Amino acid sequence: MQCCVIAGIDEADTSQLQVHPLLDVAEGAGQLRFRYKFLMPVFRARYLVRTIVQCSEQGKSLPEKAVSLMEQEATGSGFLLEHLRDFWGYTTPLSHLGAVFATLDNEHARTKSLLFHFRKA
């Protein structure tokens, strides 16, 4: 279900989702997963950019789901950074990164690491 929410499908609608051209049912688990491997980092980046900007504009901390995704990619060695750059665009101020960075506690060092790598990229 996490992949559906990241892709922008409303969480209330995920239980009713039966068939989607971008999703498959994972064998044995009965859960949905993306049909093509490249989709997960693309939708993760889209979700993270949207969440970072919204949290910055609203003066809120990142939701735990976003922090978890960012910690998984903390080294900045995957494709996520490339997709983040693509979705960030040239018109989105980098000050959003600083605003979100400032809301993170020291226990979220891995999340801060991803923001740092993204800012440098």
Residue 120 has pLDDT above 90, yes or no: no
- What span, in angstroms and rounded, lies between the C-alpha atoms of 33 and 35? 6
In a shared domain, residues 18 and 68? no
109, 58: one domain: yes
Let me know whether 53 and 1 are in one domain: no
pLDDT of residue 57: 95
Q: What is the pLDDT of residue 4?
A: 67
DSSP 19: -
Q: How high is the pLDDT of residue 56?
A: 95
**Domain shared by 45 and 100, yes or no:** yes
As a whole number, mean pLDDT of residues 62-81 equals 84
Q: Pick 59 or 19 by higher pLDDT.
A: 59
Instruction: Give me the phi and psi of 25, to 5 degrees please.
Output: -90, 125
Query: Is 93:53 a contact under the CB 8 Å cutoff?
Result: no
Segments forming the whole domain that contains residue 19: 1-36
Sign of the Cα torsion 78, 82, 85, 87 reads: negative
Specify whether 32 is located in the same domain as 62: no
Residue % of the chain over a pLDDT of 90: 28
pLDDT of 96 above 90: yes
**1 pLDDT exceeds 60?**
no
The verdict on 30 and 48 lying in the same domain is no
Please tell me whether residues 30 and 54 are part of one structural domain. no
Does 54 share its domain with 96? yes
Count the domains in the chain.
2
User: Does one domain contain both 54 and 106?
Assistant: yes
pLDDT band of residue 2 (cuts 50, 70, 90) is low
Pair 67, 25 in one domain = no
